[in-house]
Structure 1
Amino acid sequence: MYKSQPYIQISFEDFNQPLGLHMNPENRWVKKAERIPWSALEKDYAKNFPNPKGNVAKSLRMALGALLIQKEYHYSDEETVAQIQENPYLQFFVGLPGYQEEAPFEASSMVHFRERLDEVTLIEINEKILAYNQKEDDDPTPPTDGSNSGTLTLDATCAPQNIKYPTDTELLNDVRTHAEKIIDALCEDHQWKKPRIYRQVAQKVYLNIVRRKKKAKKWLRPQIRKMLGFVKRDIKVIQKFLDQGAHLTEQQAIWWETIQKIYEQQRYMYDNHTHSVQDRVVSFHQPWLRPIVRGKAKASVEFGAKFDMSLDQGIARLEYSSFDAYNESDILVSTIRRYHDRHGYYPERVLADKIYRNRKNLNYCKQRGIRLSGPALGRPKKNEVRDKTTEDQDNADRVAVERGFSQLKGCFGADLITTKRKDTTLSSIALSVLALNLSQLTADFLRQILSSNFKSKQIKNRTVYFSFFSKFTIIQ
């Protein structure tokens, strides 16, 4: 049940401040709240609760506000609630009518907030916030001659998941222990005698592997074969119980499917003397994760969701996300089409990596008069004259998307995703992009306010502007 709130958007003057509490109207959370069209978002959010019965759900402002606060400070669910309870500015941001000493909700409600605000919903909210803050001079006048205008920057990265580094022995041990839990539960429910599965011997083999510092290949391979044998025995026992009419719970059914898949992959790699397999599972509790080969100096392989992000007039947008290692070049055409839908014309240039420059994308851009940055395909021509000025400018402008990735991972939690569900992991990435844009919009808004209060004076034909963001900036 959702109780629609036909309220007028709470302004700072309407916030009930206790006697003796003096709040600063220029606080960043007050300014961030002004950048979000809460009333319009509230109407769309209320449509997700058609049932008029049940407990009243929390408002969108409280749900989205709490998630943005958590993303800003990297708090846990419990710490996020505690900080909101203690901070009047955060209480204003989540939409409370006044300061209160009680917690506005339980920490467990954060899980429901992440489930309701999924990836698609957050992308829509991001677009509505951008449209709400769009000024007349933000979007230039469309070209009357049908030419292209603007720059679209596109790149891909990976958001690593908070899991332990996957090894064959660790995965097989997780499979074995969870298979034993299923066997114990089925025997207890049906009053069956527990079969002999040699769990103590299997645990001893696993501990011998863990405690050994140097694991030679010739020594490790027989140990993996033993662990595969223990898992195979457990699978046969569970299958026998299922044939006798036993039923698994929902959680046990998920475990059972993961157990069989990991065993098949590990058996295939053992028999074929390889360490790669299609759709390899790297985590028992999050079987949708896949290894993403990045080739970076810090980590050649990362485990998490891969996503494409575009920059249009300094605004970030999540174009595509997946747990599979997809080819980034397939996203270029759809990204350009969405740019055309927003502006009514194509970009003049697209700044992207070399991987986006395949024949399909080059022909698509050529037919529409779009210049795709980067060198030409094939070997360089004998007397080719390259425009170094244009190439250097493209490389310099493309740094903006790399800076966006750095801010996403350094400031808004995309460097380590701690959510446990598949849908909440994707929504966490979309929330990081939304928080990045909101921070950018707030910074631009503060610059406009403070620009009228800047102190300036002439020093040898130079004007020195003192601003809020830096000690001084010298402009010729």
Structure 2
Amino acid sequence: MKTAQRKSKTGIIIRKGVGQQLHYLKRNIRHINTLLDAYTGIPLQKKELKYWYVLQELYRQQLLMFETQTKSVCDRIVSIHQPHVRPIVRGKSQAKVEFGAKIHCSMIDGITFLDELNWDAFNEGSNLMEYVEKFKTRFGCYPKELLVDKIYSTRENRKKLKEKGIRLVGKPLGRPSLAAHIVLSPGERNPIEGKFGQAKTGYGLGRIKARLQNTSKSWIASIFLVLNLVKLAGVAAHWFIVWIIESLSAYFIPKTETNKIGVI
């Protein structure tokens, strides 16, 4: 308690406080195990048993980091209620670390496809060829060209795409030159970046409140489903208006050489 009340904490004070908390948690776990041994069966409900396993794993991870004096561990638990959530380092000014699922999306003709959803951090550039194969599975052929960010423009990815006859549109390797602006202008990636902004501000992608892992996945996938439905509805409305204009033009305006109308 005294450690939490301090306005400024040194590394020694924080380590001493963490050590005391781990000692108290070890004592409590030992007492609970003693009580459970007195029962012939398991007196805990399914939800309580899950929390019990999560707490023991959380204690193991924190003790390991304390003894080895490290700040990271494999599959680190940061939430007792959501043990599947992992901290993902983003390096942004607002939040250096984010908590939640990391997703990868691709856009074809305004329609967004959810290629990957993972609770662990992953490198999108290393999985580029997997996304290309998913495109072939969906459409039966490889894409003619890929418009990608800098993280995908590695030498290995360029070589593999060239072997498949796919043109990569992105920032060239090496020292920046004037030709870089010709290959990829800054506004060409606006559609996919804007789609993420639309999903976060308009449909709550940045405020997923589901607690279970599968429910969160369904929530995220449903948001992109709605985005695609809105896009398709806009396309259908456009062609419906065009059809009405053409029908009215054919009905009210005689088709003569002097009377001509064009619909755009």
Normalised TM-score (structure 2): 0.82
Letter paired with 2:18: I
Distance 2:135 2:204 in 1: 27
Q: Say if 2:6 is the partner of 1:215.
A: no
- Cα offsets for 1:367-409 (capped at 9, x unmatched): 11112233444x449xx883532222xx422211100100110
1:260 Cα shift? 1.2
User: Where does residue 103 of structure 1 map in the other structure?
Assistant: none
- Cα offsets for 1:202-230 (capped at 9, x unmatched): xxx3xx44444433433332222211111
| SS in structure 1 at match of 2:179 | coil
Verify the 8 A CA contact 1:417 1:428 in the aligned structure 2: yes
**Distance change (3 Å), C-alpha of 1:297 and 1:349:** farther
User: Where does residue 23 of structure 2 map in the other structure?
Assistant: 229
Would you tell me which structure has more helix in proportion to its own residues?
2
Letter paired with 2:91: G
1:155-194 to 2 correspondences below 5 Å: none
Aligned-pair Cα RMSD in Å: 2.5
1:431 Cα shift? 0.5
1:276 Cα shift? 1.9
Letter paired with 1:315: I
User: Where does residue 324 of structure 1 map in the other structure?
Assistant: 120
1:252 Cα shift? 2.3
Verify the 8 A CA contact 1:320 1:331 in the aligned structure 2: no
**Distance change (3 Å), C-alpha of 1:325 and 1:237:** same
Letter paired with 2:182: T
More displaced stretch, 259-268 vs 246-255: 246-255
User: Where does residue 391 of structure 1 map in the other structure?
Assistant: 184
1:99-248 to 2 correspondences below 5 Å: 205=1, 208-244=2-38, 245-247=40-42, 248=44
User: Where does residue 338 of structure 1 map in the other structure?
Assistant: 134
Q: 56, 69, 87: which is aligned to 1:273?
A: 69
1:274 Cα shift? 2.8
Q: 231, 234, 248: which is aligned to 1:440?
A: 231
Verify the 8 A CA contact 2:171 2:183 in the aligned structure 1: no
- Cα offsets for 1:398-439 (capped at 9, x unmatched): 211100100110111101110010100111110110011111
Verify the 8 A CA contact 1:365 1:372 in the aligned structure 2: yes
Structure 1, unmatched stretches of 5+, are 1-204, 455-474
Distance 2:184 2:47 in 1: 55
1:311 Cα shift? 0.1
Q: 350, 364, 367: which is aligned to 2:146?
A: 350
User: Where does residue 95 of structure 2 map in the other structure?
Assistant: 299
Distance 2:6 2:233 in 1: 54
Letter paired with 2:209: T
Higher relative contact order by CA 8 Å / sep ≥ 6: 1 or 2?
Answer: 1
Verify the 8 A CA contact 1:291 1:302 in the aligned structure 2: yes
Letter paired with 1:256: W
Structure 2, unmatched stretches of 5+, are 247-263
Distance 2:178 2:230 in 1: 43
Distance 1:408 1:343 in 2: 25
Percent identity over the alignment is 35
Letter paired with 2:17: Q
Letter paired with 1:316: T
| SS in structure 2 at match of 1:310 | strand
Q: 405, 419, 423: which is aligned to 2:210?
A: 419
1:307 Cα shift? 0.6
More displaced stretch, 220-229 vs 257-266: 220-229
Distance 1:295 1:306 in 2: 14
Aligned length: 244
Verify the 8 A CA contact 2:104 2:117 in the aligned structure 1: yes
Normalised TM-score (structure 1): 0.47
**Distance change (3 Å), C-alpha of 1:267 and 1:312:** same
Distance 1:272 1:279 in 2: 16
User: Where does residue 408 of structure 1 map in the other structure?
Assistant: 199
Letter paired with 2:170: G
**Distance change (3 Å), C-alpha of 1:276 and 1:387:** closer
| SS in structure 1 at match of 2:47 | helix
Letter paired with 1:295: G
